[in-house]
Structure 1
Amino acid sequence: MARVYIENYGCARNRADGEMMAALLYLAGHELVNTPEDAEIVVVNSCAVKDPTERKIARKIKELIDAGKKVIVTGCLPHVNPDVIDERVSAILGVKSIDRITQAVEYALRGEKLISVPDWRKRNLDKLDFPRLSPRGVHFIVPIAEGCLNACTYCATRLARGVLKSYAPEKVVEWVKWALRQGYKEIWLSAEDTGCYGFDIGINLAKLLDEITAIEGEFRIRVGMMNPNHVIKFLDELIDSYSDEKVYKFLHLPVQSGDNEILRRMGRTYTVEEFEEIVKTFRRAFPDLNLHTDIIVGFPGESDEAFQRSVELIKRIRPDKVNVSRYSPRPGTIAARWKQLPGWLVKERSRIMHRIRLQISYEINREYIGKRVKVLVHGEGKKGNVDAVTMNYKHIILPQGEEGEFAEAKVKGATSTYLLGEIVS
């Protein structure tokens, strides 16, 4: 038996994969440790969505091996850019080979090497059949699908996760019920794109939400990122499902650019106007909507005018949060073959957009000062404070509070990233 540490990178979907591997290793009798220093074998559950993340992971793999650790690499990186993975690793598993993690550990202990990435598309894993070993706390991740239906010209994740495979709604519901029986209060519905959930099995996200909100008990549902081109197909139905008090009034709807020509080059298959229509419809139904969106700056072909249209869009719709990414070419993608913008220009556009989004976020959050809001306490945060979230998933820092408790708080202050408050009786 081995002492194993799992280091997860990337999205909630990837973290759920890490919890599945942890359960398989535990059931096989291996010891799961809390730090890489205590481990014989380190599983690096990788992400490959951005170039800086890829470089960070590649460095980490090398450092671990140099420190005498046996390393197993899983996640998206083996599919997207295997050339950056140190050849001294003990095993490489693809995203649909996580069921072979115990085999990989056994190989590593014998000094042999297991590579299970080729022909991965032929494997048809239903990951909701796997056990989970999740950290105690308030929230639990429930994957609802793997893969997507998009063909974005810049995205490498789809090269790793493949086409959409939605999990059966009854299995999703059973995992939610299980999580609630364990004491979790917050369910994260996770996928590469929750907006296209069920399109391959004759259902949609709204119907799934209706089944989950029908479960008895006081809990909340946080819906993961959804793309506009799918949401607009069942928008009214989704609004109805979101009306249930168990669904956080939180919407992560990436726009990526405020210019329709750039969206076309990105392969996004929706228009700025359609994105704005979705936002307006949601805000009419939920005035306190917490809107998150994503913007990529410096995409190949982005002119000064196109960038300015992105700036104007953000100023116009005023999202609560904007995730700003500098475009970086990813191996195997179409956009990587196009003429790239100079790095200095991409950085400058990123700085401009970042300043704008911080100002807007701060202005929005200041409007909460003096209000009373219902919160779910997540538990101890940084510097001895307590972290909680409002019912539209605004993070609020409190001086005290009981983990898992629903309470009322008064907002006393605000920053661009979180609120400050205290629980009131």
Structure 2
Amino acid sequence: MEDIEDLLAGGTGGAPPGFRLPLNAVGINPKTIKSKRSSSKQHEFTASNRDSLAPPSLKIPGTQTIYIKTFGCSHNQSDSEYMAGQLTAFGYALTEVPEDADLWLINTCTVKSPSQSAMSTLISRGRSGKKPLVIAGCVPQGSRDLKELEGVSVVGVQQIDRVVEIVEETLKGHEVRLLNRKTLPALDLPKVRKNNFIEILPINVGCLGACTYCKTKHARGHLGSYTVDSLVERVRTVISEGVKEIWLSSEDTGAYGRDIGVNLPILLNAIVKELPSDRSTMLRIGMTNPPFILEHLKKIAAVLRHPCVYTFLHVPVQSGSDSVLTAMNREYTSGEFRTVVDTLTELVPGMQIATDIICGFPGETDEDFSQTVELIKDYKFAQVHISQFYPRPGTPAAKMKKVQSKIVKQRSRELTCVFEAFAPYTGMEGKEERIWITEIATDGVHLVGHTKGYIQVLVTGPESMLGTSAIARITSVGRWSVFGEVIETLSTAKVEPQAREEKKPPCSSDAITCETCTCSAESCGEEKSGDACNISGSITRQDQGMLGWFMPRRTQGKSKEEKQELVSHWGFIDKALVCGVFVSSLTILVLLISIASRVLLQR
């Protein structure tokens, strides 16, 4: 099997040594090829119509069509968006119809057996259709000798910036591999977002853990963090491009920076300084394991209270039993997990925490499982991701004595029933919540918004509402989300319902204390306090006109309409008064001149 470096260095038709592909600016719009087939024949693919196409190797590089399929986490999704951006920057078109593509790029996940099985099925389908295949992601990086990867090109998780070269060589008929680790891919590579309003921002790769069941560590490796400056610069860029949600993504967000001498709170505080004060762009902190946030709980809580940060955190516990956690090598106890949840819930109003559970880990007893059930019942989490244990090849847990399959399934069903019996959103009916709308629901009817606690709110409205913020009244609640109606689309200057209900009187010199003013203490009592507070409809001494300064009590006891009428009337009197003063002054001046003239004549 040839390596891509050898092909590019001396192979016929390859690029000359040192050749690097052009990298355009971030945010390029991809060319998307729509299928010309009717919907009834959209997935029809036969040898005859395939053979009628010109061989990809005879086409000009950069003119072919690529199908990209992504499995796994948000980090994988971000990698796919970067690869799509580079391909479109070089001229390739993207399609969502596999049969229309000249090459398939499959970005894989190795966390669970089902996702890897789905990858294998898709590879077999591609082989049957004679499609050139490039396999990316954690599976080839962590299991490079896998049988399913024979005869296809592969690219590692830290080589995504070389995807154009690999695609070119694969279309020429070469089988290439690029798996050696190198420096982190740049954050300013061209990118095509799946959702234009959501930026998935990887802050580091790999982790510091050594969980006995985890295959991802084999693929993503040891912790490697991006610098604070590079991440802040990326945040500035995506905000300028109109992104409304920034998701910090990582295999373990809490471990960020420990390899470069910084930590997560330092990064978070640097990022929130860049978020618009009008709350038009929100930040979502990614998954973090308990060990690495225990020492920073108060600092992280302070960030979560920031108006532009969702009060939501994904903290996997995996088991409520300390003996199972020890066997997993999770490096924390169930008590320490409870400390994380209790502290954040106490310090952050409206805090929402999601967690993960693995049922049937090797050696798990009935007592161990009952402790897990008790933990979930104690906190009644709104989101719990429950999975059965899947032994991953090459991990220590794969060699441990397994729990019987029927017991694993029974425990998974039991915990699922406990979890689904919760009603976490009861009591929200009738409340008004600010939501940020970024997606279209899978039913194709509703738009998806999220509250500050990242509770999903389904509303109806035009697609033009995507990327906006609104006030929604909750009309009904379900198990997984709530339904609402939009009562106000917010401009950047609007405030939330609570603030509108607590509107206080305008500042004036008549105010007793600054605590009753809507403006700041600095402007309280000043003559122009009405302008400083920008309160429409308020009547201040400045609004009363010139005569108002001499008759401040004239409006007392009057209604708002009467005050406005008086103000209008005084405006006319003011003009007459000024005119009268001018005429009087002129008359006095003439008289003085006349008297002075007579005195001089008498002399």
SS in 1 for 2:486: strand
Give yes or no for the alignment of 1:365 onto 2:425.
yes
Match of 2:555 in 1: none
Q: Distance in 2 between matches of 1:290 and 1:38?
A: 43
Match of 2:437 in 1: 377
Match of 2:471 in 1: 408
Q: Are the equivalent residues in 2 in contact too, given 1:375–1:390 (CA < 8 A)?
A: yes
Q: Are the equivalent residues in 2 in contact too, given 1:410–1:423 (CA < 8 A)?
A: yes
TM-score, L = length of structure 1: 0.96
1:234 is matched with which residue: 296, 310, 318? Answer: 296
2:362 is matched with which residue: 269, 287, 300? Answer: 300
SS in 1 for 2:421: helix
Q: Are the equivalent residues in 2 in contact too, given 1:126–1:167 (CA < 8 A)?
A: no
Bigger CA radius of gyration: 2
Q: Distance in 2 between matches of 1:107 and 1:307?
A: 51
State the Cα deviation string for residues 306-364 of structure 1 (Å, max 9, x = none): 0000000000121111000100100111000011111111111110111111112xx11
Letter in 1 for 2:81: E
* Contiguous gaps of at least 5 residues in structure 2: 1-60, 489-603
Give yes or no for the alignment of 1:280 onto 2:280.
no
Give the superposition deviation at 1:87: 4.6
Deviates more, 1:399-408 or 1:292-301: 399-408
Give the superposition deviation at 1:136: 4.5
Q: Distance in 2 between matches of 1:87 and 1:214?
A: 45
Give the superposition deviation at 1:380: 2.6
State the Cα deviation string for residues 55-114 of structure 1 (Å, max 9, x = none): 111111111221221111000011333455535543011112222211211221211100
The alignment of Structure 1 onto Structure 2 pairs a total of residues equal to: 420
Match of 2:24 in 1: none
SS in 2 for 1:324: strand
Q: Distance in 1 between matches of 2:282 and 2:151?
A: 41
Match of 1:337 in 2: 399
Give yes or no for the alignment of 1:260 onto 2:319.
no
Give yes or no for the alignment of 1:165 onto 2:227.
no
Letter in 2 for 1:154: Y
Give yes or no for the alignment of 1:75 onto 2:155.
no
Give the 3 Å change call, closer, same or farther, for CA 399–85 of structure 1 in structure 2: farther
Match of 1:180 in 2: 239
State the Cα deviation string for residues 117-166 of structure 1 (Å, max 9, x = none): 2xx24x22333253322234321111100000001000000110001001
1:41 is matched with which residue: 92, 103, 120? Answer: 103
Decide which structure has greater strand share: 1
Match of 1:189 in 2: 248
State the Cα deviation string for residues 161-182 of structure 1 (Å, max 9, x = none): 0010010111111111111111
Percent identity of equivalent pairs: 36
Q: Are the equivalent residues in 2 in contact too, given 1:73–1:89 (CA < 8 A)?
A: no
TM-score, L = length of structure 2: 0.68
Q: Are the equivalent residues in 1 in contact too, given 2:275–2:282 (CA < 8 A)?
A: no
SS in 2 for 1:221: strand
Q: Are the equivalent residues in 2 in contact too, given 1:144–1:190 (CA < 8 A)?
A: yes
Q: Are the equivalent residues in 2 in contact too, given 1:276–1:317 (CA < 8 A)?
A: no
Letter in 2 for 1:403: L
Give the superposition deviation at 1:379: 3.6
Deviates more, 1:400-409 or 1:131-140: 131-140
Give the 3 Å change call, closer, same or farther, for CA 311–87 of structure 1 in structure 2: closer
Q: Are the equivalent residues in 2 in contact too, given 1:154–1:329 (CA < 8 A)?
A: yes
SS in 1 for 2:376: helix
* Contiguous gaps of at least 5 residues in structure 1: none
Q: Are the equivalent residues in 1 in contact too, given 2:140–2:149 (CA < 8 A)?
A: no
Q: Are the equivalent residues in 2 in contact too, given 1:65–1:89 (CA < 8 A)?
A: no
Match of 1:144 in 2: 203
Match of 2:459 in 1: 398
